[in-house]
Structures are given as C-alpha cells and as structure tokens.
Amino acid sequence: MIKSFKKNIKGILIEGMTLSAALLIIAIVVVMITVIVIGGKEQISWEFLTSFPEDGMTKGGIFPAIYGTALLVIIMSVAAVPFGTITAIYLTEYAKENSIIAKTIRFAVRTLAVIPSIIYGLFGLGFFIKFVGTSVDNTFLGGQLKWGQPNILWASLTMALLTLPVVIVSVEEALKTVPRDLRAASLALGATKWQTIWKVVIPGSISGIMTGTILAVSRGAGEVAPILFTGVAYYVATLPASLSDQFMVLGYHIYVMTTQSANVDKTMPIQFGTTLVLLALTFILNISAIILRYRIRKKKTD
Amino acid sequence: MAHEKIQTENMFLHYGSKLALNDISIQIPEKKVTAFIGPSGCGKSTFLRSLNRMNDLIDGVKIEGKILIDGINIYDNNIDVVTLRKKVGMVFQKSNPFAKSIYENVAYGPRINGVKDKKQLDEIIETALQNAAIWTEVKDRLGDSAMGLSGGQQQRLCIARTLAVNPEIVLMDEPASALDPLSTSKIEELIVQLKEKYTIVIVTHNMQQAARISDLTAFFYLGELIEFDKTKKIFTNPEKKQTEDYITGRFG
Amino acid sequence: MTNKTQKGKRSKSSDSGLIDITQKKFRWSDYLAEKIIRGTAFLSIAIIVLIFFFVFRESLPIFSTAKSSAKTEASAENQATQETYGEVTDTPKAQDVQETYGEVVDISATADSTSEAYTVSAGSGFDDNQTALKSILTKDWVPVSQKPRYGILSLIIGTFKVTIISMLFAAPLAIMAALYTASFAGKRLKEIIKPTIELLAGFPSVVIGFFALMVLASFLQEVFHYDTRLNSFVGGIAMGIAAIPIIFTITEDALTAVPKTFSEASLALGASKWQTAFFVILPAATPGIFAAVLLGVGRVFGETMIALMATGNAAQMGLNPFESVRTLAATIGAEMAEVVFGDTHYNVLFLIGSLLFIFTFILNAIAEFYVKGKLMKRIQGK
Ligand SMILES: Nc1ncnc2c1ncn2[C@@H]1O[C@H](COP(=O)(O)OP(=O)(O)O)[C@@H](O)[C@H]1O
Ligand SMILES: [Mg+2]
C-alpha cells in the first residue's frame, strides 16, 4: 500500500514538474506577445504604417522600414526559392538515398541551417561586397565605387543563403508526399523523368513550395545580423530606388531605436509599435505556414 | 500460333542477392489475353514490370537473359526506354489517376507526345474513353476532378489514359483486385474487347477471372514458370501437379 | 481508322507499323534539367566551402607579419584617438552617405568605468599585425585605441558564460516540456504546446532581444536585486528563450522515435507511465537529447542581436553572472560596421567569425555523426 502510494506521489510529482515546464514555456510566449501587443497597439495606425520618420526619428511612421523589409524578402525569395526547390528535387528525385553525394548535401544543408546568422553577414561582406562587388566595379565601372559597398542586393542575397535550408527542408518534405504511384503512372505513359517531375511532382507539391517560401520570408523578415553590414541603414530619407541603394528594415529599426537613439524613453511607443508590426508580420506568415504544413501532412496520411 | 509479341529466354531477376525470377522462358502471342496466375509473392508483378522496364526504377535489380519484344531485346543498350514504355503500356493494381481533371488525365500521354491541337486531342480522348468503356459515364463532366470518380471508374480511366498513348501491349497488374463485382465484370468485358487491337498481359490472383477472360495462362510458383498453355488446357488438364494443386485450391 | 492515322503522326513507325524502340532519342530538356539540377544541388556544399574560405580569407592578413606601415598609420588616423572599449559610440555606418538623426547614447555605463582600469602603456614602433596576433590570447579587448589590443579571452569567457546560463535555463525546461508532450500530454494539450513552440521558433531574435531589454531586464532586476541592469544573466535567459524551440523539437523527435515496443514491454512488466517515461524512454533517447542541447548551444553561441541588446556589451572576465559581458558574435555585430575595410581590427573580427564558424560546424558534426550513430545502435541493436 505505502509503497504504491510513494510510487504514485513520485509519478504525480514528475508529471506535474514536466507539465509546469510546458506551461512555463507557453506562459513566456503569451507574456511576450501580450507585452508587445499592449505596448504597441496604441501606436498602430494607418498613419504610422504609411509615413516616414520625422524629427530625428522621434515621431512619424515606419513606412521605409516596412517597404525595405518587403523588398528584401522579395529579392531574397527570388533567389532562394528556385535554388532551394531544385536542391530538394535533386535530393528526392535524382539522388540515390544512401549515396555519398546525397549524404554530403544533406549534411551541408543541415550545417547551413545552424551556421550563426552573423557569419552569413561576414560572408556577405567578404564575398558579395568585397569580392564580387569590387570586381564588378573594377572591371565595368573603372574602379568607381558602386557595387563594392553595402546595398539591398547584397543584403538580400546574403539573406537568401541563410534561408536556403528552410526552403530545401520544406520542399523536400512536400515532394515526399507525392505518391510513388503517380510517378510510376507518368513514367509508364512514356513520360521522361523531367516531364514527370515538371507535370506531376512539382504541381503535387506546390503547397509545400509555398510553405517553404512563407517560412523563408518570415525568417528573412526578422533576421538582422546578416544584413548589419551588407546593406541595411539607420535612416534613409528616400526609398531604395535601385539594387545598389541602402535600405531600412523593421528589425534593424527596432535595434537602433532601442540602443542607439538619443532619447530611448521618448521613442518607446515607436519601438513597441515597430516590434508589434514585425511580430504580427512573422506571426501571420508562420501561422499560415503551420496551417499549410498541417494540411500537407494530413494529405500524406490519407 | 500467332506472331510472338513478347518472348523471354532464360531470364533471371535478382533483387540485390534475392532471386525473384528463375530461368523464365515464355512466348506471348500478339492480340491475345495472357493471364499470369500464382500465389502471392511468386514473381508475377516482378515479371510484368520487367516487360516495360519499370524495374529500372528499383535499386539493386539485376536482370540476366533476354526479353524480346517484336524480336528486339529491350535491355539492349540502344533501346529508348521512354519509347518502349509508350509501346508497352501499364495499368497498375491500385488505380492511380493524377489529381487533375478527367480530361487532363487522358490528355497527359498525348500531350507528352506533342499533340497540341485541341481538336485532335478531343478526338483521341473520346476514342480512349470509349475504348475503356467509360465514355458514357463521364462525357458530361470531363472537366471534373478524376479523384471524384468511384474506384471502378478510376481504374477504367487509368486504362483509358494508357490507351490514349496508343500502345501495342497493355500490361495489367491485378487491375480489378480492389473493385466491387460489378466494376470487375465491366473491366473483364473491356479486356476481352481490347484484345482486338492490343496484346494484353494480365496478372490476377482470381482464377475464375483468368479462366473467363484469357486465351493463355501462365502459372508461376516461387519465381519459376511452372506451366504455360492454353487457358482451357491449364484449367481442365494441367500437365504439372503443382498447377493442378493450385487451380483446385489445394494451396495458395 | 483514327487510331492508325494518329499512330502514324505521333510516333516514328518502322515498316511494320510498329513502334520502333531502337532509336535512342536525345532529349534536350531532360538532359539540361538533369545537369542543372545536379549542378545546383552542389550549391549547398559550395556555399559552405565558400563561407569558410571567404570568412577565413579576410582574417588571414593578421597572420602575415609583413605589412606596409603606411596603411597602418593611415587607418590609425582614421580612428578616434580616444580609447574606447569597443563600445558602439559611433553613429551607425550609414552616416556619411545618409542623413543621421539623433545623438548616440552609451547604453552601458559600466563599460566605460571599467575600461579606465586598463591604461595604455605605449610602446613605439610596433608592428600592427604582430602585436595583434600576440595580443589575441590576452584579456584586453581594446580595438579602438592608439595602441589597439585584440585580446579575445574576455569575449570567449563572456560567450561561454552566457551560453552556460542559457543552457541551464533552457535545456531542463525544454527537455521536461518535451518529455511531457511525448509521454503524458493528451491530444488537446499537445495541439496547444506544439504550435506554441513553433510560434516561438518564429520569433525574430530582435523581438526577443527587445523584450529582454525592455521588460525582462527590469523584471529580473526586481527579483534578484543586482546592480547592472543588462548582464550575462539577462542575456542568457533571453537567448535561452530563443533556444527552447530547437531543444524541444529535437528532444521530442528523439523521444517519439523510441520504438513503441520499448514502452509496451515496460508497461507490461507493471511499470507505471512515469516510470516508463523516466527509466525507459528518456534513457533510450539520451543521444538525441544530447544532440538537441548541442544544437541549442550552437544557436546561443552565435546569437548576435539578443547579445547586443541584452548582455550589456562590456568585455569583462569575471565569473559573476550579474556582470555585463560581451560575446564574440556581438563584438562582430557592433564593430564591423565601424571598422576600416582591410584594417587589422577588421581582420580580427573576421578571425572571430572563423572561430564561431568552426565551433558551430564542429558542434553540428558531432550532433550529426556521433549522436546519430549512437542513437541508431541503441534503438536497433537491442
Ligand atoms: N522492390 C523489391 N525489392 C525487393 N524484393 C522485392 C521487391 N518487389 C518484390 N520483391 C520480392 O520479389 C518476390 C516477388 O514479388 P512480386 O513480383 O511482387 O510477387 P507477386 O506479384 O507474384 O505477388 C517476392 O518475394 C517479393 O518479396
Ligand atoms: Mg503482385
């Protein structure tokens, strides 16, 4: 009797402890969201979203930061989604499951996913700006400085490298949900491998490619470290008009406003407002990705 | 006997180190229905897949011996596998329509072959659907998704899809095994009609089915071809004891 | 009829009217597609090699002792004469190109006061690179000075301090929550916990950093009554929050990968649910949990924005968790925009980057190979 009672106590204790851990994590998330929503909701207005900063960024809106973020993720997606999708196609359709090449590529993809984002920033600086950009300037512009400095193109490409594994993993998961039967059916009708991929496999995994894109966009919209010295600016009076312009983004705006502005207290509402906008943006993206992925997984088990 | 459409000579097939087909030599005539019977796992599907080289997709498959179609070894180096599969169509055990409309399912093959003209496509599709005995059921809803059809209709659609490519041989791997009796009899009727134009090879686990629709029957057992003869002969007076045991239901 | 004519049009027919299969066709689209796909797939590998090459390349000059002193002087002139502690005292880099608003505020008062303790003893005629290389393994990180020193010891210690604090916080929390989710939670609760974790994984680190800076720092100061508002403790907790989703997800995967037969056998022997969870499932999944923690460490180790915003950014050696620290990643993030390209300071920052890269690469490789091998053996080899 007593022994089993003791056993029970331990059981309840352990279950209780692990449950509290889970609840604490949920609480942290809820508190973070609540604090940011409460702190920022007053600030959100059409005006705030669509106007430029004023008075040394102590007043006004965050439009250039929203615009810059959008531009960044668009250019990034244009680069990352095709390459990521193609890599995923290689892994599921062409590579032999246990070949050394496939294993190495998978390892490389997972490594890319864990390399700190600041390293991507360094790479962007060392490769895109100093190597590619400077070479372009020297060969085509006679040494005139244009591409050999931070700009939105280099920042977006740097971000594309960072989000490449996100795309690859999502698309690969989706490609795997396309039944083997359908590939066989297509091949048995005399379709070539590429025709099968193009007409059956890719249409069957569009939602997965979309999920990957959304997740990549969400990641790219929030990351700051990779663009710190590849193109983002503290304040730009005009919107970027060419790929060689610098630009503002939401995440960096939050960072400079909180740590480097003259009057942190005075701009507090703007900081909270900007953070809320960024959080809402990533949330909407993430939730749609979660829903899409849930549907894909359901399709797989059906 | 009629012209030999398919012919194998001392053919062996291994999955890795596992022997799945052991010394198969067979001659399958043109424009007849040939049935493969035998207990599950005896290699019927494996043999069927060798005839349009779908086994190429499986890692570790090794094939020795000859497989000739119209006298040409289809495992020769100069063979164009893609064209081979147009010549030798296949209907699978589980119906597998694409998640597209009925029309697009049937149009898939012709489109791949470069048919772009809408009128010509319509014509091919109507013929194929008619030949697969499903035209009257779907002619008013060609734009609907194929996934909305019943199992039997899906399977006939898959047959139509295969016929639209205009093959010479149609391989069928237990095409009616997952269907209700009514759909099954429709498909059986269809197969008998198809032999006018096509050479049909069908795998079935249902011996009555083989007896009803086939002209010739091959009995496989443990990777070997035990007996191959006219269907009538196999079912009334088999040469081998194993065949007799199987058709009388003593095992399998 | 139609069939015949179609056949004639659509496929090459031999004399017999049969489809000829002996003509091997060359299909451009297939050939090109395959070549492009195979080529592109190597991109991931190429990127890693390129990252290593270019990050390391930019750090190379400090290993070469010969360097034009002219350049050194020029760059020294460019820099402020007053010695700073590597603090972000400058306006951000865009200043010469763009209009800049607002004054710059030093967010960490402690940094300046401590920095006074290090006085510069000027030696004349030193070679910049050689000194830089020699000073690397010292504790003084004084990159902007007339006699700069690049001791990264305090940065390394700061990074480890924050990492340890964050793991002490995040690892138990995430592992227990994963254990609960995998072994005890009902379906409903699972459907709350898992998406919440996914949402947390989607939090940009700058948002977590903002939360830490604005709310968490004050809250923790209230509770623990320490002096410096931003310190390794606050930074560690904030980075822990960022690392929770990684640790949770991989742990949960490892726990659910333990074959059902394991737990069924245990339950059949009369063990209770918690005993099974604790003594059967958890041990069987330890390699996976170890991998989870390793990847969590990797995440924290290279975290930049949270470190910049929440750790106080003062390079100190002390072991007190309530002191400000400066991490390796934060140092790169704060100073790279300020340096002169090609300067020794620039090279040293790249060297720090190479260290970070190598460290996370090794962590990941261990998680991949060692742990996976072990996990496989354990689950299959029983
Ligand atoms: N892809 C495969 N890999 C390895 N072995 C296989 C594969 N497909 C079938 N086999 C084996 O080959 C033998 C014949 O299988 P199969 O041709 O499917 O038999 P049947 O269609 O007569 O039921 C079986 O023993 C089966 O296990
Ligand atoms: Mg079979």
pLDDT, one tens digit per residue, over A212-230 is 999 999 999 999 999 998 9
Q: Which has the higher per-residue pLDDT, B134 or A6?
A: B134
> What is the pLDDT, as a whole number, of residue C98?
35
Confidence of residue C16 (pLDDT cuts 50, 70, 90): low
> What is the pLDDT, as a whole number, of residue B251?
65
> What is the pLDDT, as a whole number, of residue B153?
93
Give, as residue ranges, everything with CB less than 5 Å from ion ligand 2.
B 45
Q: Answer whether B40 contacts ligand 1 (Cβ < 6 A).
A: yes
Which residues, 6 or more positions from A268, have their beta carbon under 8 angstroms from its beta carbon? Answer: A39
Q: Which has the higher per-residue pLDDT, C85 or A129?
A: A129
Cβ contact C217:C310 at 8 Å: yes
User: What percentage of chain A reaches a pLDDT higher than 70?
Assistant: 96
* Cα nearest neighbour of A200 on chain B: B98
Q: Which of B31, B79, B80, B111 is the mutation pick for testing C, counting most C CBs within 10 A?
A: B80
Q: Kindly report which listed range (A156-160, C83-87, C292-296, C353-357) carries the lowest average pLDDT score.
A: C83-87
Q: Which of A191, A46, C253 is nearest to B52 (CA)?
A: A191
> What is the pLDDT, as a whole number, of residue A7?
66
How much is the mean pLDDT over chain C? Answer: 77
Indicate which ligand has the atom closest to the C-alpha of B61: 1
Chain A residue numbers with beta carbons less than 8 Å from the beta carbon of B165 are 189-190
List the Cα angle B91/B92/B93 in 5-degree steps. Answer: 130
Q: Residue range B169-192: average pLDDT?
A: 90
The pair of three-digit structure tokens given for residue C7, joined into one six-digit string: 């056949």
B96–A184 C-beta distance less than 8 A: yes
Residue B148 has pLDDT above 50, yes or no: yes
**Digit-coded pLDDT (tens) for A226-245:** 999 899 888 888 898 889 89
The pair of three-digit structure tokens given for residue C138, joined into one six-digit string: 């010292």
Confidence of residue C123 (pLDDT cuts 50, 70, 90): very low
Distance, in Å, from the CA atom of A80 to the CA atom of A85, rounded to the nearest integer, reads: 8
Which residues on neighbouring strands pair with residue B11, listed in sequence order?
Answer: B24
Q: DSSP of A20-88, one letter per residue?
A: HHHHHHHHHHHHHHHHHHHHHHTT--HHHHHS-EETTTTEE--HHHHHHHHHHHHHHHHHHHHHHHHHH
Cβ contact B96:A181 at 8 Å: yes
Index of the ligand 1 atom closest to the CA of residue B40: 23
> What is the pLDDT, as a whole number, of residue C80?
38
Distance, in Å, from the CA atom of C266 to the CA atom of C275, rounded to the nearest integer, reads: 9
Which residues on neighbouring strands pair with residue B6, listed in sequence order?
Answer: B28, B69
A168–C44 C-beta distance less than 8 A: yes
Residue C382 has pLDDT above 50, yes or no: no
- The residue whose two tokens read 């049969």 is C18
> What is the pLDDT, as a whole number, of residue C77?
41
B85 CA to middle of ligand 1, Å? Answer: 21
Q: How far is B145 from chain A (nearest CA, A)?
A: 14
Confidence of residue A65 (pLDDT cuts 50, 70, 90): very high
Residue C126 has pLDDT above 80, yes or no: no
Q: Which H, E and C letters describe C159-188, residue by residue?
A: HHHHHHHHHHHHHHHHHHHHHHHHHHCCHH
What is the gyration radius of the CA atoms in chain B, in angstroms? Answer: 18
Q: Answer whether B13 contacts ligand 1 (Cβ < 6 A).
A: no
Index of the ligand 1 atom closest to the CA of residue B58: 1
Q: Kindly report which listed range (B178-182, C252-256, C312-316) carries the lowest average pLDDT score.
A: C312-316
Which residues on neighbouring strands pair with residue B216, listed in sequence order?
Answer: B34, B230
Q: Residue range C71-98: average pLDDT?
A: 40
User: What percentage of chain A reaches a pLDDT higher than 90?
Assistant: 65
> What is the pLDDT, as a whole number, of residue B110?
95
Structure pTM?
0.85
Which residue minimizes the CA distance to atom 1 of ligand 1?
Answer: B58
A249 CA to middle of ligand 1, Å? Answer: 58
Alpha helices in chain C (DSSP H): 2-10, 28-41, 43-59, 69-78, 109-115, 128-135, 153-179, 187-202, 205-211, 217-224, 232-257, 260-268, 273-275, 282-284, 286-301, 305-310, 328-335, 344-365, 372-380
Indicate the residue type of C27. R
Distance, in Å, from the CA atom of B14 to the CA atom of A298, rounded to the nearest integer, reads: 36
The pair of three-digit structure tokens given for residue C255, joined into one six-digit string: 């726990």
Neighbors of chain B with 3 or more C-beta pairs under 8 Å: A, C
Distance, in Å, from the CA atom of C313 to the CA atom of C304, rounded to the nearest integer, reads: 11
Confidence of residue A54 (pLDDT cuts 50, 70, 90): confident
* Cα nearest neighbour of B160 on chain A: A189
C 37-96 near A (Cβ less than 8 A): 37-38, 40-45, 47-48, 50-51, 54-55, 57-58, 88, 91-95
Q: Residue range A152-162: average pLDDT?
A: 96
* Cα nearest neighbour of B94 on chain A: A181
User: What percentage of chain C reaches a pLDDT higher than 70?
Assistant: 75
Residue C224 has pLDDT above 70, yes or no: yes
Chain B residue numbers with beta carbons less than 8 Å from the beta carbon of C10 are 110, 113-115, 166
Q: Is C358 on the interface with A (CB under 8 A)?
A: no
Distance, in Å, from the CA atom of C354 to the CA atom of C347, rounded to the nearest integer, reads: 10
Residue B132 has pLDDT above 60, yes or no: yes
> What is the pLDDT, as a whole number, of residue C367?
87
> What is the pLDDT, as a whole number, of residue A4?
63
Q: Is A184 on the interface with B (CB under 8 A)?
A: yes
Cβ contact A57:A261 at 8 Å: yes
Residue C88 has pLDDT above 80, yes or no: no
Distance, in Å, from the CA atom of B96 to the CA atom of B113, rounded to the nearest integer, reads: 20
Q: Kindly report which listed range (B25-29, B113-117, C204-208) carries the lowest average pLDDT score.
A: B113-117
> What is the pLDDT, as a whole number, of residue C70?
39
How much is the mean pLDDT over chain B? Answer: 92
Q: Are strands B72-73 and B61-69 parallel, antiparallel or unpaired?
A: antiparallel
> What is the pLDDT, as a whole number, of residue A259?
86
**Candidate from B11, B12, B15 with most ligand 1 atoms within 8 A of CB, to mutate:** B15
Residue C305 has pLDDT above 90, yes or no: yes
Q: Residue C305 to residues A154, C88, C209, C334: CA-CA distances in angstroms?
A: 20, 14, 6, 10
Residue C4 has pLDDT above 70, yes or no: no
How much is the mean pLDDT over chain A? Answer: 90
- The residue whose two tokens read 């730009």 is A236
Q: Which stretch of DSSP H or E encloses residue A285?
A: helix A268-301
B9 CA to middle of ligand 1, Å? Answer: 20
B87 CA to middle of ligand 2, Å? Answer: 22
Confidence of residue C211 (pLDDT cuts 50, 70, 90): very high
Size of interface A-C (CB pairs under 8 A): 321
Q: Residue range A106-129: average pLDDT?
A: 94
- The CA-based dihedral angle spanning residues C242, C248, C250, C255, taken in that order and rounded to the nearest 10 degrees: 170
Q: Which has the higher per-residue pLDDT, C248 or C225?
A: C248
Q: Is A98 on the interface with B (CB under 8 A)?
A: no
* Angle, helix B151-163 to helix A180-188, in steps of 10 degrees: 30
Alpha helices in B113-168 (DSSP H): 118-131, 135-138, 151-163
**Digit-coded pLDDT (tens) for A249-302:** 999 999 998 987 777 778 888 999 999 999 999 999 988 888 888 887 776 655
> Half-sphere exposure (CA, 13 Å, Cβ side) for C333?
28
Cβ contact A119:A81 at 8 Å: no
Which residues on neighbouring strands pair with residue B12, listed in sequence order?
Answer: B64
Cβ contact A196:A187 at 8 Å: yes
- Complex ipTM > 0.90: yes
Q: Answer whether B55 contacts ligand 1 (Cβ < 6 A).
A: no
Q: Residue range B2-15: average pLDDT?
A: 91
Residue C8 has pLDDT above 70, yes or no: no
Q: Which has the higher per-residue pLDDT, C8 or C174?
A: C174
User: What percentage of chain C reaches a pLDDT higher than 90?
Assistant: 38
Q: Kindly report which listed range (A50-59, A136-145, A240-249) carries the lowest average pLDDT score.
A: A50-59
Q: Which has the higher per-residue pLDDT, C107 or B142?
A: B142
Distance, in Å, from the CA atom of B184 to the CA atom of B178, rounded to the nearest integer, reads: 9
Q: Is B162 on the interface with A (CB under 8 A)?
A: yes
The pair of three-digit structure tokens given for residue B144, joined into one six-digit string: 């609907």
